């Protein structure tokens, strides 16, 4: 089922969304100082391309002062605008019954688009191990 949802997502906005994040990543990497945000944009682009069956979790050790400062700068400069775009797109997708899962996937992108540093994308079935049991024991 998630493969079918990913294909529908890809056709109805996922490809353009991922392309936007990819272009933002290229621009950020060209400006050298903003390389961490560029790498985060590439990570979000891969998630935006194929979101079903994956989720965002906190990266182990990704809670330092530089991560927090970088996320605050990102939030003010770009994050809030990207989140507003995701909310508006989710609203438009939720108008049809077929679009409701796509709207939910769009809303899943909001937390990582607001605060992308210190996050990682994992398959949904391994999120328990990563989130609640670091080390996999």
Question: Within a domain: residue 133?
Answer: no
Question: Within a domain: residue 57?
Answer: yes
Number of domains in the chain: 1
User: Using one digit for the tens of pLDDT, what is the confidence trace for 55-104?
Assistant: 888 888 767 888 889 899 888 888 898 889 889 989 988 998 888 988 99
Question: How confident is the model over 113-119, as a mean pLDDT?
Answer: 90
Half-sphere CA count of 125, side-chain side, radius 13 A:
1
CA–CA dist 28, 34 (Å, integer): 5
Question: Within a domain: residue 48?
Answer: yes
CB 119 within 8 A of CB 112: yes
Question: Within a domain: residue 129?
Answer: no
- The better pLDDT of the pair 46, 136 is held by 46
pLDDT value of position 99: 87
Domain of residue 107, residue span: 2-124
Average pLDDT score over the chain = 85
């Amino acid at each position: 089922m998630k493969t079918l949802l990913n294909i529908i997502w890809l056709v109805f906005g996922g490809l353009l969304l991922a392309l936007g994040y990819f272009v933002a990543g290229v621009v950020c990497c060209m400006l050298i100082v903003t390389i961490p945000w560029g790498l985060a944009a590439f990570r979000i682009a891969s998630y935006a391309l194929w979101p079903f069956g994956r989720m965002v979790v906190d990266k182990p050790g990704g809670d330092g002062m530089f991560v927090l400062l970088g996320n605050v700068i990102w939030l003010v400069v770009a994050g809030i605008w990207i989140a507003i775009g995701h909310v508006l797109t989710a609203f438009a997708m939720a108008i049809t019954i077929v679009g409701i899962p796509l709207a939910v996937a769009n809303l899943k992108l909001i937390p990582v688009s607001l605060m992308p540093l210190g996050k990682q994308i994992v398959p949904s079935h391994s999120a328990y191990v990563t989130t609640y049991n670091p080390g996999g024991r």
